[in-house]
């Protein structure tokens, strides 16, 4: 039974979400503030978290960052605003996905399930990117000097999926389908922000990427 | 009635005014000077005539035969002609003047013993006739002066005055030009700015220059008015956005609770199930409506800037069509590219462009059994993206209105179609315009409606 953490300050929404996820067979832990949510997470070891952005006290972004430091669990943020800046900020604070209110509950449910279904791809062979060694079957990226580089599961998946294409381009839609596991929701910003985050970690000069290359208007490819 | 332009009127007023005034001045000057010159001349002539008459009288007393010599010398000394009548006989007929110049009335008056002076026109020339009686010897002395030399001076004066009047009028006209430009230019600037604002360039303001106080005041109050108006518009847009924002949370609760009910559908009575279906259907409309309103408020308020990207158009249309069709769970229309289209690039906000295609496909799905095809063709520097359907088309009188907010055409009334938000096409138009493109609706080759997006092509991608 998957454990889901819901951090949402609106009592009605929180209760409704709890009922819905329980109806789908989840064990639900819910919290009305970020602080409570983090405390709950450290006790319950949730499999996935839904975090509202507008929280009293610690913001959703901070909560997100805090959870990310502790774990690789998938985090979906719920934002009341669809502004690109907000979405980007949310994703950069470590979230894997986002939905905006008013969301379609079935869509949120489908996304959560997709994240839980996702398993690390271990079929890709190990490869190296400059000074980095990517080892999919161990799920780690190691620097030549032995230090381990931390990637979230979404980032790792993004990297290995692109690697498996042997330099061919994957469109944003393809990536959404392969990495996030949805075929019809989510928008391209989700991909763009994750690519940027990944570049910050693996590229020697993230502003002028040499491995993770944008193909204008089409998508991205990985040059090994 | 079309009013004449203010500029023209000012010009004419100034020009005519200057002309009238300067003509009046010139005429008065002319008349005055003429009068002065003539009377001066006549005083001289009169004095000379009396002197000459005295000479004639002395000669007639002392030695009458000398008269002819005297008359000749007088005539040589002056420019006048001299006539003398004694005992009703003309004594001298001098050159340049004849006895006919002296009318019988003048002669009669002089015979009666009165001196006379008269200016008259004889044979087209102005002459001044002076008659002096010399009763002691029963003689009448006449002297006839030509005023022609004065004429010459006066004509010169007239010429100078006319030139002056013309010059003054010219100065008047240029003064009018200057004044009208100065007075009219601010008006023209205001009307230009107003037109730009009406066209949607809301940040248009007049430049406050070191102009006349009135103009400065006009400029300032115009700018103030525009600022207030813009504030008002922004407040309205913000209000719409705030309202939609406030609906988000309760709507989320409603939708989630409804889906919880849906999970427990089996436990519900038939009536409750039917109610739930109605609830779910309308919730979904409500949700789309709020989403569309929010999207609209965002672009209205300009709160969310466009993220313009230069992308290959055909690939973009394909991807948008695919994700749009999937989003609404409808069949994906085929994307047909006309020969010779090449690989054009367009500059768009990717997310909004997706929205445009999605809404058009959804619209065709609702009102025309789905889009038959999306046809792409190059038209000069524009790219035509046609979303074609085989429905009943859009009536020609509705072709503008379909893009208006909450417009419901005949197609929406005719059949029991699943209701849309009434904002889909309005959003499409807003977005397309933001990309610098246009959207129109016409007949499609499939017999239905063709929604045609025209986007400027950025440049050809090198293959």
**Residue partners of B450: CB distance under 8 A and separation at least 6:** B386, B387, B388, B389, B441, B442, B443, B444
- A14: closest CA among A35, A41, A32, A37? A32
With respect to CATH, is domain B6-153 assigned 3.30.450.20? yes
Measured distance CA(B342)–CA(A30) in Å, rounded: 55
Percentage, residues of chain B above pLDDT 70: 93
CB contact under 8 A, B319 and A17: no
User: Per mean pLDDT, which range of A183-187, B74-78, B238-242, B403-407 is the poorest?
Assistant: A183-187
CATH architecture of the domain covering B213-301: Orthogonal Bundle (1.10)
User: Per mean pLDDT, which range of B267-281, B326-340, B438-452 is the poorest?
Assistant: B326-340
**Residue partners of B366: CB distance under 8 A and separation at least 6:** B417, B418, B420
Residue that the structure tokens 């085929």 belong to = B334
The pLDDT confidence band at residue A185, using thresholds 50, 70 and 90, is: low
Q: In chain B, count of helices (H) and strands (E)?
A: 10, 12
The pLDDT confidence band at residue B387, using thresholds 50, 70 and 90, is: very high
| Average pLDDT value for residue range B74-89 | 77
Residue in B256, B291, B303 nearest the CB of A16: B256
CA-based nearest distance B264→chain A, Å: 8
pLDDT at B135: 82
CATH topology of B6-153 equal to that of B308-460?
A: no
Pairing state of beta strands A48-52 and A3-7?
Answer: parallel
- DSSP letters along A132-182, please? EEEETTTTEEEETTSPEEP--HHHHHHHHHHHTTTT--EEHHHHIIIII--
Which H helix or E strand runs over A80? none
CA-based nearest distance A19→chain B, Å: 6
Measured distance CA(A75)–CA(A26) in Å, rounded: 16
CB contact under 8 A, B248 and A218: no
Measured distance CA(B387)–CA(A142) in Å, rounded: 50
Residue in A23, A109, A217 nearest the CB of B315: A217
Measured distance CA(B265)–CA(A218) in Å, rounded: 44
pLDDT at B97: 55
User: Per mean pLDDT, which range of B7-21, B203-217, B425-439 is the poorest?
Assistant: B203-217
Token pair recorded at residue A136: 């999919």
- B327: closest CA among B376, B367, B369, B360? B360
pLDDT at B303: 62
| Average pLDDT value for residue range B419-428 | 86
**pLDDT for residue B417 is more than 80:** no
CA distances to A2, A60, B284, B427 from B251, in Å: 27, 21, 10, 22
Instruction: Give the residue from chain B lying closest to A84, CA to CA.
Output: B304
Percentage, residues of chain B above pLDDT 90: 21
Residue in B249, B303, B326 nearest the CB of A183: B326
**Cα angle vertex A70, ends A67, A74, to 5°?**
55
- B401: closest CA among B363, B447, B356, B440? B440
Domain regions of chain B by residue span:
6-153, 213-301, 308-460
Measured distance CA(B19)–CA(B12) in Å, rounded: 10
CATH for B308-460 is 3.30.565.10
Measured distance CA(B321)–CA(B314) in Å, rounded: 11
CA distances to B58, B452, B455, B456 from B380, in Å: 112, 15, 11, 9
pLDDT at B2: 59
pLDDT at B421: 81
The pLDDT confidence band at residue B360, using thresholds 50, 70 and 90, is: very high
Select from B243, B250, B258, B260 the residue whose CB has the most chain A CBs within 10 Å, as the one to mutate to test that interface: B260
pLDDT, one tens digit per residue, over B247-286 is: 888 999 999 999 999 999 999 999 999 999 999 988 988 8
List strand residue ranges (DSSP E) for B116-244, in order: 116-122, 125-134, 139-146
B323 in A contact zone (CB under 8 Å): yes
CA-based nearest distance A217→chain B, Å: 4
- Comparing A58 with B213, the larger pLDDT belongs to A58
The pLDDT confidence band at residue A104, using thresholds 50, 70 and 90, is: confident
**B chain contacts of residue A82, beta-carbon cutoff 8 Å:** 294-295, 298, 304
pLDDT, one tens digit per residue, over A130-160 is: 888 888 877 788 888 888 888 888 888 899 8
CB contact under 8 A, B252 and A103: yes
Measured distance CA(A188)–CA(A219) in Å, rounded: 10
Buried b / exposed e across B186-217, counting CB within 10 Å, b at 16+? beebeeebeeebeeeebebebeeeeeeeebee
CB contact under 8 A, A82 and B259: no
Residue in A12, A173, A217 nearest the CB of B322: A173
| Average pLDDT value for residue range B102-113 | 82
**A chain contacts of residue B245, beta-carbon cutoff 8 Å:** 80
Measured distance CA(A161)–CA(A165) in Å, rounded: 7
CB contact under 8 A, B294 and A82: yes
Sorted by where each starts, the structural domains of chain A and their CATH numbers stand as 3-117 (3.40.50.2300), 127-222 (1.10.10.10)
Residue in A13, A20, A82 nearest the CB of B260: A20
The pLDDT confidence band at residue A183, using thresholds 50, 70 and 90, is: low
Query: Contact, B319 vs A183, CB < 8 A?
Result: no
DSSP A8: -
Measured distance CA(A32)–CA(A57) in Å, rounded: 10
Query: Contact, B451 vs B368, CB < 8 A?
Result: no
- Comparing B52 with B301, the larger pLDDT belongs to B52
pLDDT at B42: 85
The pLDDT confidence band at residue B28, using thresholds 50, 70 and 90, is: very high
List phi, psi (to 5°) of A170.
-115, 130
| Average pLDDT value for residue range A111-130 | 81
Cα end-to-end distance, chain B, whole Å? 61
Buried b / exposed e across B319-343, counting CB within 10 Å, b at 16+? bbbbbbbbbeebebbebebeeebee
| Average pLDDT value for residue range A106-119 | 87
Task: Report the SS3 class of residue B129.
Answer: strand
Task: Report the SS3 class of residue A88.
Answer: helix
CB contact under 8 A, B253 and A19: no
Task: Please tell me the pTM assigned to this model.
Answer: 0.66
Please tell me which of B22-36, B101-115, B176-190, B301-315 the model is most confident about, judged by mean pLDDT: B22-36
pLDDT at A148: 84
For residue A102, cis peptide bond before it (omega within 30 degrees of 0) = yes
**Residue partners of B216: CB distance under 8 A and separation at least 6:** B208, B209
What number of other Cβ atoms are within 10 A of residue A90's Cβ?
24
Average pLDDT in chain A: 87
pLDDT at A220: 92
CB contact under 8 A, B249 and A13: yes
DSSP B235: H
CB contact under 8 A, A173 and B319: yes
């Amino acid at each position: 039974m998957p454990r889901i953490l819901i951090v949402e300050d609106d009592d009605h929404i929180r209760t409704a979400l709890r009922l819905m996820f329980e109806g789908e067979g989840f064990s639900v832990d819910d919290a009305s503030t970020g602080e409570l949510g983090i405390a709950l997470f450290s006790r319950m070891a949730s499999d996935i978290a839904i975090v509202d952005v507008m929280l009293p006290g610690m913001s959703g972004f901070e909560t997100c960052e805090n959870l990310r430091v502790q774990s690789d669990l998938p985090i979906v943020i719920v934002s009341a605003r669809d502004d690109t800046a907000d979405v980007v900020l949310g994703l950069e604070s470590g979230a894997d996905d986002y939905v905006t209110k008013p969301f379609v509950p079935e869509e949120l449910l489908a996304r959560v399930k997709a994240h839980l279904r996702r398993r690390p791809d271990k079929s890709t062979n190990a490869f190296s990117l400059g000074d980095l060694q990517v080892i999919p079957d161990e799920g780690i990226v190691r620097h030549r000097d032995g230090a381990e580089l931390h990637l979230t599961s979404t980032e790792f998946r993004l990297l290995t999926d692109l690697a498996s294409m042997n330099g061919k381009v994957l469109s944003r839609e393809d990536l959404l389908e392969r990495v996030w596991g949805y075929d019809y929701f989510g928008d391209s910003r989700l991909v763009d922000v994750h690519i940027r985050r990944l570049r910050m970690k693996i590229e020697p000069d993230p502003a002028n990427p040499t491995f993770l290359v944008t193909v204008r208007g089409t998508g991205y490819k990985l040059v090994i | 009635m079309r009013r004449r332009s203010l500029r023209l009127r000012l010009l004419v007023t100034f020009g005519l005014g200057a002309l009238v005034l300067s003509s009046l001045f010139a005429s008065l000057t002319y008349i005055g000077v003429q009068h002065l010159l003539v009377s001066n001349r006549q005083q001289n002539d009169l004095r000379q005539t009396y002197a000459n008459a005295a000479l004639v009288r002395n000669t007639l007393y002392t030695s009458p035969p000398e008269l002819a010599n005297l008359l000749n010398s007088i005539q040589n000394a002056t420019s006048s002609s001299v006539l003398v009548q004694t005992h009703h006989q003309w004594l001298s007929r001098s050159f340049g003047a004849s006895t006919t110049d002296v009318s019988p009335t003048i002669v009669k008056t002089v015979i009666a013993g009165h001196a006379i002076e008269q200016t008259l026109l004889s044979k087209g020339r102005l002459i001044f006739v002076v008659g002096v009686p010399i009763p002691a010897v029963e003689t009448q002395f006449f002297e006839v002066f030509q005023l022609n030399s004065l004429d010459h001076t006066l004509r010169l004066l007239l010429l100078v005055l006319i030139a002056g009047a013309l010059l003054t009028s010219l100065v008047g006209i240029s003064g009018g030009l200057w004044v009208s430009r100065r007075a009219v230019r601010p008006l023209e600037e205001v009307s230009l700015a107003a037109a730009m604002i009406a066209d949607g360039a809301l940040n248009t303001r007049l430049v406050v220059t070191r102009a006349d106080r009135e103009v400065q005041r006009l400029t300032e109050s115009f700018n103030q008015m525009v600022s207030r108006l813009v504030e008002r518009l922004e407040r309205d847009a913000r209000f719409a956005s705030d309202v939609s924002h406030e609906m988000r949370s309760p709507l989320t609760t409603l939708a989630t609770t409804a889906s919880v009910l849906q999970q427990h559908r089996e436990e519900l009575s038939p009536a409750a199930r039917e109610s739930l279906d109605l609830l779910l259907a309308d919730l979904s409309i409500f949700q789309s409506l709020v989403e569309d309103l929010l999207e609209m408020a965002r672009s209205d308020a300009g709160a969310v800037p466009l993220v313009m990207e230069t992308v290959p158009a055909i690939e973009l249309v394909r991807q948008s069509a695919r994700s749009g069709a999937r989003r609404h769970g409808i069949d994906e229309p085929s994307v047909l590219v006309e020969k010779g289209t090449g690989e054009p690039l367009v500059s768009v906000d990717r997310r909004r462009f997706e929205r445009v295609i999605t809404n058009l496909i959804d619209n065709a799905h609702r009102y025309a059994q789905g889009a038959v095809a999306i046809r792409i063709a190059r038209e000069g520097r524009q790219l035509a993206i046609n979303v074609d359907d085989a429905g009943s088309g859009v009536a020609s009188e509705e072709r503008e209105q379909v893009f208006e907010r909450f417009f419901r055409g005949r197609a929406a009334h005719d059949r029991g179609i699943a209701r849309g938000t009434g904002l889909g096409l309005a959003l499409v138009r807003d977005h397309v315009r933001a990309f610098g493109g246009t959207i129109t609706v016409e007949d499609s080759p499939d017999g239905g409606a063709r929604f045609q997006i025209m986007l400027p092509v950025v440049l050809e991608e090198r293959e």
